[in-house]
Chains A and B, each alone.
Chain A
């Protein structure tokens, strides 16, 4: 079975160009994905990736690389190999069930203009 890795970043250092095949044996420190909460009340958002020997170093490096101008109040790091992703080639069938259900949107319903507060 083919393992589909996270679509944006991730085990690319193990994926040979174009082939999608997973190979092992990189001399680099493991790759980590970095997520930052820019302020209290907002979600953590993916900002990029970096190499680090362990989680603690990944957080410290993320602090230096991605928050030099107070861009964050909280950092998550996840080793890229743990992220699984949907396959872009299957996007059509994967999202197809939502295509014909416009009645899920409020604008689908025709109501008189006089109706207020709704």
Chain B
């Protein structure tokens, strides 16, 4: 006899069950009931994240054929291959929410879905491979580590896998810059120039400041996000301001200063106009990046069809 449930008080609404799971740090899994807004927020965030990994292969792919040694080339290929893998983990996680790969790719190609604005900047010197590893991957890691505890199970699991692989990316980047910083005058100059160009776009990677971030409050409540954009940005600045000293280089911010009271570094104002302009499509490489993605997809069409035809024939 099952008296426990019969006597067991008030029936909860699906939303109350969901909220209480989130409160108790019980992960939400794909077939659990969830609010539509929660699902939409996740699809937007995870697919945007996946697109960033895939588009992020382009600026670095640019240097594979010109890497200065076999060791650097092998490393860079491995790193770019990792980014492809990260994109795939994330697309799979997003698909558990009811969207399809085709749909997501379409939204990337027609500009409806965004990707991280950082990848719309050009990679004009070898040092950029170092600065991307150190700063861009560094900022990404800062964002991603808390996401390993995000409330949606498949997203959290994908992030655990990604974070494990990401630390090699950052270390190889710093090593590239360290080598340049101990090199000739021209190499040192190349190193500083690259840091100068990548610093502010990396600081912007954390997204709009908290008072201008429309999704933050709700995402924090649902434990999709664990820290606000500004909290993570401050952490990043504090860490990089120390690390740059090891390179004997500087960060391009005259207002960067240790604040004894706050126990944090103060830093200069962010050029939000540039941020919004790049996001809305006017960065130096937006068109080039999207064109490259669309071209790769279209030129791969015959491969997808051939594989389907082959599989079909073998089923018969």
A49-B36 Cα distance, complex, nearest whole Å: 24
Report the minimum CB–CB distance from A58 to chain B (whole Å). 10
Known A-B contacts A16-B98, A48-B89, A53-B310; the reply to A29 vs B30 at CB < 8 A is no
Which applies to chain B's interface (DSSP): helix, strand, loop or mixed? helix
Instruction: Assess whether A73 is interfacial by the CB under 8 Å rule.
Output: no
Instruction: Assess whether A77 is interfacial by the CB under 8 Å rule.
Output: no
Residue contact A7 to B95, C-beta cutoff 8 Å: no
Report the minimum CB–CB distance from B83 to chain A (whole Å). 12
Question: Which residues of A75-94 have CB atoms within 8 Å of chain B's CB atoms?
Answer: 85, 87-89, 92-93
Known A-B contacts A49-B95, A88-B32; the reply to A13 vs B100 at CB < 8 A is yes
Instruction: Assess whether B184 is interfacial by the CB under 8 Å rule.
Output: no
Q: Mark B273-316, 1 if CB is under 8 A from A, else 0.
A: 00000000000000000000000000000001001101100110
Instruction: Assess whether B146 is interfacial by the CB under 8 Å rule.
Output: no
Question: Which residues of B66-119 have CB atoms within 8 Å of chain A's CB atoms?
Answer: 78, 81-82, 85, 88-89, 92, 95-102
A89-B14 Cα distance, complex, nearest whole Å: 10
Q: Sort chain A's interface into a size bin.
A: 35 or more
Partner of A7, one of B31, B99, B100, B308: B31
Partner of A53, one of B32, B97, B99, B308: B308
CB contacts between A and B, total, < 8 Å:
92
Question: Which residues of B145-193 have CB atoms within 8 Å of chain A's CB atoms?
Answer: 153-154, 157-158, 161, 165
Give the residue name and chain of the A residue nearest to B8 (CB): A92
Instruction: Assess whether A27 is interfacial by the CB under 8 Å rule.
Output: yes
Instruction: Assess whether B2 is interfacial by the CB under 8 Å rule.
Output: yes
Residue contact A29 to B304, C-beta cutoff 8 Å: yes
Residue contact B92 to A17, C-beta cutoff 8 Å: no
Instruction: Assess whether B29 is interfacial by the CB under 8 Å rule.
Output: yes
By a beta-carbon cutoff of 8 Å, the part of chain B in contact with chain A is 2, 4-5, 29-33, 36, 39, 43, 78, 81-82, 85, 88-89, 92, 95-102, 153-154, 157-158, 161, 165, 304, 307-308, 310-311, 314-315
The 4 closest A-B pairs by CB, nearest first: A17-B98, A53-B307, A54-B311, A53-B311
